[in-house]
Every structure is written in structure tokens, then in C-alpha cells.
Amino acid sequence: MKYIVCQKPGMFLLEEKKTPIRNNDEALLRVKKVGICGTDLHAYSGNQAFFTYPKILGHELAAEVIDIDKNARNIKKGDKVVIMPYVSCGTCIACRKGKTNCCTNIEVLGVHTDGGMQEQITVRTDLLIPANDLSYDEIAIVEPLAIGAHAIRRAAIKPEEFVVVVGCGPIGIGIIKLAQIQGAKVIALDMNDTRLEYAKNEIGADYVINVTKDPVSKISDITNGDMATAVFDATGYKGALEAGPDYMAHGGRYILVGLSKGELQFAHPKIHAKETTLMCSRNATIEDFEHVIKVLPQFPTGSFITHNVPFSEMISNFDSWTKPETGVIKATIDF
């Protein structure tokens, strides 16, 4: 069968290997669609944390079951499935407390272990969620939306509170929509006006602000001087991460969703004066996936997936997806 491997930064290779053989606790799956994530883009660029080469990328996966044993979710051969790509150990302190998303021994498909850019893959049965009522396009975006759902749940977002989301990439867009579904008033920040227009017109952000145009004073005006009670960073960029507390109200929460490889610096008196609650949000749990599947009809899947190519054309198109000027929000590949 064919697969694509990221051999080293800036290099993909199309290769062939034998079809995988599943273990008793696994299903054999036919990959139908793969979403391209920021993690994939960063791995290709050589700046992804927790990453080694060579690696088969891809963890936003839509699949069809080829073979599976009897299982608790009654998933059968021929079923469509969502794949939770976070392979947790089940025994560490995090897993024992239900936080499988930050398992001490976690292996994420396409990051720590080989992912879904291959025609067939074996996946542990307990990581599969039946999704026969969804299209493959919808299935492929459940995982990135679940990242946002987990962040919203971590922050315990309430109706009518002001929320700032920094970064209108795929993860930020998911956070915006899911916060809106929770009833929050959402202020979206980015430096790309095209993405801000999308966040406003397609996703429903209440306010959009170009981050280069005095966002602090604009947020202050919108909130009558209170600032936002929850601020999400969905960029992972050092400057954006360090600016986040400036948008936050006293007594507010700052939620770091984007991942940065470097060190961050905050003026302690500034964050101390606000009694800042600083929290990180990593991956997602089964509850977050199930929530996304439930609310997915409210999400504009058609406009969210801006670029789609066959598996055979992925390598020749990938470079363009790293460039904001191409207008890419979510790129996907079909098998």
C-alpha cells in the first residue's frame, strides 16, 4: 500500500509498504480523508515540538472499518469512524483521573508515532467513535474542533461573558464557534484581515480586531473597560502569547491552546494584580469529541475546508498550504 512520509524538514516521499496486520484490540481501517493541521505544517517546516523524523503525518482522520472484533461501541465492518488520535496508557496519574489527553506516556498519531497519511492503518478499538451519520468531510474536522471544545470546557465558558480568541486559524475558528454556541460574546483577533472577515461573516464572531491596530483599547471600548474574562491563545507564537494577559479582565482566565517551543516571559506584577488563572489546554477527551459531533450541524464545514486534493497530489500542493496568501483555512486530502 502507498503512504507519504515526512523524511526530514521540507521533504516528503511517496513510498510503499505491506498492509498492516491488526492486533486483537485493534481495528483495521481504510483511510478516506486526512485534514492538514498546524502540527503537520510545523513538522514540515522543522519547528514542531516533541517531533522526530522520519514520520508519517496525519491525525485529523476520517476512516472506514475494514476489520474489527466485537466491541463496546458496536462498531462494525463498513462503518464510518472518527479516530481519537491520542493513544493513552490508561494507568498513569492523568489517565486514572480521566485526563487521557495529557497522559504521561501519550503517543499522538502523526506526532509521536506514525499517522494517517497511508491507505490503511490499525488503531486501538477504544479510540474509535461511530460516525455513520456524518460525511467524510465532517468526520475529518471533528478532531481539530475537539481541541477547541476541550479548551472551552477547561475554561468553563458561561453565557454572555466576553471572550477573546487570538488567532483565526483552524483551531481559533473552532474556539470562536464553540464559545459562541456556549452563549459567549466573542472578540476575534488576528493580523490577517481575510481570516477576520471569515470569522465575522461565516463563523459569527461578535467583534473582529486586527491585532496590529491597538487591540487593547478596542477591547476596552467593547467591554466598557472591563476587558475579557477569558482569553484564548490559538497561535503558539511568542509575541502573541506574551500579549494575551493585556486583553484579560481582573480575575480572568488565560488559556494557552497554541504550543510554542520556546520560553515565555510575563511581568509578574501585571499578571499577579489580575489574580490571573493561567491554564493550558492540550488535545481532547472522548467527551469533547462527542460534544463536537453533537453540535457539528451548527458549523460551516463547506466553507471551512478551503483546499482539497487527491492523495497523489498532496506533495505538490503542500508548500502552498504553508502560505497565508493562498487563503487556506483547512486543507484536506482524499484517498
Could you tell me the CATH number of the domain that includes residue 102? 3.90.180.10
CA distance 161 to 175: 14
Is the dihedral angle over the CA atoms 72, 77, 78, 81 positive or is it negative? positive
Say if residue 102 is in the same domain as residue 12.
yes
Q: What is the pLDDT of residue 263?
A: 93
Say if residue 194 is in the same domain as residue 275.
yes
In a domain, 122, yes or no: yes
pLDDT in tens, 54-78: 999 999 999 999 999 999 999 999 9
CA distance 312 to 8: 19
pLDDT in tens, 275-297: 999 999 999 999 999 999 999 99
Among the residue ranges 20-29, 47-56, 212-221, 229-238, the one predicted with the least confidence is 47-56
Q: How many residues does the chain have?
A: 335
- Segment 91-119 shows an average pLDDT of 96
Distinct helix (H) and strand (E) counts, the chain: 11, 17
Say if residue 305 is in the same domain as residue 218.
no
Say if residue 76 is in the same domain as residue 104.
yes
pTM of the model: 0.95
Say if residue 152 is in the same domain as residue 275.
yes
The CATH number of residue 208's host domain is: 3.40.50.720
Say if residue 7 is in the same domain as residue 123.
yes
Range of the domain at 241: 148-280
Q: What is the pLDDT of residue 46?
A: 87
Say if residue 184 is in the same domain as residue 238.
yes
Say if residue 199 is in the same domain as residue 251.
yes
In a domain, 286, yes or no: no
Count of domains forming the chain: 2
Say if residue 265 is in the same domain as residue 188.
yes
CA distance 151 to 232: 8
pLDDT in tens, 22-57: 999 999 999 999 999 988 998 998 877 778 999 999
Question: Which among 236, 198, 210 is positioned nearest to 330, based on CA atoms?
Answer: 198
Say if residue 204 is in the same domain as residue 272.
yes
- Segment 159-180 shows an average pLDDT of 98
Written as nine digits, the cell of 313 is 497530489
- Segment 240-255 shows an average pLDDT of 98
